[in-house]
Amino acid sequence: MSPRPETFTIVIFGAGGDLALRKLFPSIFQLSRWGHLPSAWRVIGVGRAGYTHEQFRRYVRDRVIELSPESVDDRQSFDEFCEQLFYVNTELDEPGGYISLYNEIMRTRGDDGGCSNLLFYLSTPPSLAPVIVRNLVTAGLGGREHPCPGWRKIVVEKPFGHDLKSARELNSILEEAFDENQIYRIDHYLGKEPVQNIMVFRFSNGMFEPLWNRQYIEQVQITIAEDFGIRSRGAYYEESGLLRDIVQNHGLQLLAAIAMEPPVELSPDSIRDEKSKVLRSLRLFSRETVHDSVVTGQYEGYLGEKGVAPDSKVETFAFVKFMVDNWRWSGVPFYMKAGKCLGRTVTEIVLTFKCPPQNFYGKYGTAACTPNQVVLGIQPDETVAIRFGTKRPGEELVTDPVFMKFDYRTSFAEKGLTPYHRLLLDAVAGNQMNFIRRDSLERSWTIVDSIRDSLDGILPDRYPVHSWGPESDERIYESSPD
Ligand code: BG6
C-alpha cells in the first residue's frame, strides 16, 4: 500500500460523466472511508451544468447511489463525503472559467493548506484535453506554476488521442505545461490485481521464467471478450472502434507484461523501460501481411444501436497475430482476440508450451500430445491454472489433461483494491509504475495505426451475437507463424 498521502484537492473535468459517477466518486468515497486519504481533501468538479455546490452534491449523491449502489454502504458517511464536493461552472474552452477555478481552489484551501497539492483529472473526450491544459496554464494552474507550495499532477483518461498524430500533439501540449513525472496516463487494466500479478508470477518464481521463451512456448493467446455490446456508447464507438478502444491500450499492455524482460529494479521507469522495449519489438503491419494477421468483425445488430450510422464500417471485434521480433520471442505468435457481444465475458492469457520431443503415450490412446498450458485468468475469474497430462486411473496407460488451479478469491481472505482505488492512490502518492509513459503510448499508436492503415478498404466481417467472432479468423491460425 502506498503511504498515506498529504492533504490534496482533486479537480475533475467531466465530473458529471459516467466514469466519474461510476468509478471516481465511489472510489474516492471508499478510500476516504477506509482511512487511505488524509482527513483534509476535497473534490472540485468542473463542468457546464450550471450547478451550485449544493446542487452538484445532490446530483453526485443521487447518481452514485443509482449507478454504484454497492459502493455506498453507509449513507451517513456518504452524505458527509458529499459535503467535500464543490463545483465550478464553465465551458471547458472558456479561459475565464479557469480563473473561477483558481479562485475556488484558493477559497476552499482552508487552514490546512489544502490547495497545496493539486491533482487534475481529465475524464473528458480526448479532443477537449488540449484546451483544458492550455486554459490551466493561462490561469496559472499549470504544472510548473505554484500559487502555493505542493505538487501538481495531471491524470489523463483513455482514449489518449485518436491516433499517433493526435496523441503526439496532446503529449506536446501536456509537456509544455507539466513534466513527464507529473503526467499520469491511465489504463485501468494496469490497476487490476491479476494484471499486477503477471510480473510477480513471472519474476518471483524460479520454475516458470526459464521456460518463458521461444524454446519452450509454442504460442500465446490473449483474450479480452465481453458478452455485451456497446451499450449507450454509440457515438464514442463510432469514433473509436475496437482496435482503438481495447487493443491499443489494454491489449498491448497485457502483451507487454507477458513478453517483457525482468526489470533492472522495481522502479517505475525500469519496468516501463522493459515494456517499452517489447512494444518497440512488435512487428508493424502492412498491406501485404494484414490479410494473414488480422481479422476484424462487427456484431449483427450493431447498425441498429443508438448513435451508430446505418452504414457504419466500425469494428467491434479484432483478432490479431502479433510477432515480437526479439531474442526471446522470435517466431512465437501472440494471438489477441478482443470483442463485444462475444460468447462470454472473459479476459485471460494462455501460454501454450511445445510438446515433449516424443509422445510415448500416443500409441496407448491419446492420439496427439495435449500441450502444457499456463492460463492467467484476469476476469471474471482471478486465477492461475496449469494444464498438464496425467495418467487416467485404471489398467490402461492413457493420459488425460488436467488443471491445477490457484484462485485469488478462495486463497486470500482479503479483497484486493479495485483498479480505480489503486490507481488513484498511486497517482496521489506519485507512483507512476502503473501509468503509461509517453514512448510506450506513442509506440502503441504506431502499431494500431499500422493495422488500421493496412486494413484501409477491408470491411469487418459480420458475426452473430454471442458467437466467438467471424469464422474467417481461422485463417490467422492457419497462416505460418512467421
Ligand atoms: C474500457 C473500454 O476501457 O474498458 C470498454 O472503453 C470496456 O469498452 C472496458 O468495456 C472494460 O473494462 P472492465 O474493467 O470493465 O473489464
Shortest-distance Cα residue to atom 13 of ligand 1: 189
Pocket perturbation via mutation, ligand 1, pick of 189, 222, 317 by most ligand atoms within 8 A of CB: 189
Domains defined for the chain, CATH in brackets: 8-157 (3.40.50.720), 190-415+438-478 (3.30.360.10)
pTM: 0.95
Determine the distance separating the centroid of ligand 1 and the alpha carbon of 236, expressed in angstroms.
13
Cα–Cα distance for residue pair 400/73, rounded to 1 Å: 47
Determine the Cα–Cα distance for residues 101 and 45; give it in Å rounded to an integer.
9
Q: Please list the active-site residues.
A: 250
Angle at CA of residue 122, ends 317 and 267, nearest 5°: 85
- Indicate the pLDDT class of residue 425, thresholds 50, 70 and 90: very high
For ligand 1, the distance from its centroid to the CA atom of residue 189, given in whole angstroms, is 8
The rounded Å distance from CA 245 to ligand 1 centre is 8
Ligand 1: which of 160, 185, 188, 348 to mutate, most ligand atoms within 8 Å of CB? 188
Measured in Å, residue 177 CA sits from the centre of ligand 1 at 29
Question: Quick one: angle between helices 95-107 and 129-138, nearest 10?
Answer: 60
Q: Which residues pair with 322 in a beta bridge?
A: 334
Closest residue to atom 5 of ligand 1, CA basis? 245
| Ligand 1 atom nearest to 230, measured from its CA | 8
70-122: pLDDT as tens digits: 999 899 999 999 999 999 999 999 999 999 999 998 886 655 444 578 999 99
Query: pLDDT tens, 299-323?
Result: 999 999 999 999 999 999 999 999 9
Protein residue with least CA distance to atom 12, ligand 1? 189
Q: How confident is the model at residue 26, as a pLDDT?
A: 97
Mean predicted confidence (pLDDT) in 443-454:
98
Ligand 1 binding pocket (C-beta < 6 A) is 158, 188, 226, 245
State the helix-helix crossing angle for 25-33 and 53-67, rounded to 10 degrees: 90
